[in-house]
């Protein structure tokens, strides 16, 4: 696992943030940086979709209701990705919220690009 430092020259756009974390997009690198659980991790197109799938697949309700005997931890391991997350239930909910917001914003950005720039430009 590596911790990345942000270079001053890298141009970041904040896509979405909550009080628990934030996701930034780098146009130059075609990727996203996720600032969450105390680290900044880089995700490319394939990996962020895999992370989204992994987080969305966690059955939070089941963990809450039937998880009495299991530790309150989930390990999120993404295939062919440098990062993994070990998260508590509260953090999972926070990460899910962050990702949901991010994908709504990306969708919105897509609509704006389609309607404004691609038509006129």
Partner 1 sequence: MKDILRVKCLLSADVEALINQQIKKEAHSSAIYLSMASWCNRNGYDFSGDYFFKQAEEERMHQLKFFKYVLDMGGNAVSPEITNVKAEYNSFREVFEEALDQEISVTQSIKNIAARCYKEQDFVTLEFLNWFFKEQREEEYKARRALELFEVIGEEGTGRWQIDKHVGQITYDSEA
Q: Taking CB under 8 A as the rule, does residue 57 contact partner 1?
A: no
Q: In a 10 Å sphere around its CB, with 0-12 CB exposed, 13-18 middle and 19+ buried, how is residue 105 labelled?
A: middle
Task: Give the Cα separation of 5 and 38 in Å (integer).
Answer: 12
User: Among the candidate windows 27-35, 56-64, 76-84, 89-97, which touches partner 1 by CB under 8 A?
Assistant: 27-35
Per CB under 8 A, the segment of 65-73, 75-83, 90-98, 108-116 that binds partner 1 is 108-116
3-state secondary structure 83-95: CEEEEEHHHHHHH
How many residues bind to partner 1 according to rule CB under 8 A?
A: 14
Contact residues toward partner 1 (CB under 8 A) are: 13, 15, 25, 27, 30-31, 45, 49, 103, 106, 109-110, 113-114
């Amino acid at each position: 696992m590596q911790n990345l430092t942000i270079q001053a020259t890298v141009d970041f756009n904040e896509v979405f943030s909550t009080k628990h974390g934030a996701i930034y997009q780098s146009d130059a690198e075609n990727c996203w940086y996720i600032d969450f659980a105390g680290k900044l991790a880089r995700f490319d197109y394939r990996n962020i979709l895999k992370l989204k799938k992994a987080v969305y697949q966690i059955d939070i309700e089941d963990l809450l209701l039937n998880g009495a005997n299991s530790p309150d931890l989930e390990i999120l391991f993404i295939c062919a990705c440098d990062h993994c997350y070990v998260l508590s239930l509260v953090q999972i909910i926070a990460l899910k919220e962050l990702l949901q917001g991010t994908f709504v914003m990306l969708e919105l950005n897509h609509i704006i690009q389609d309607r404004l720039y691609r038509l006129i430009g």
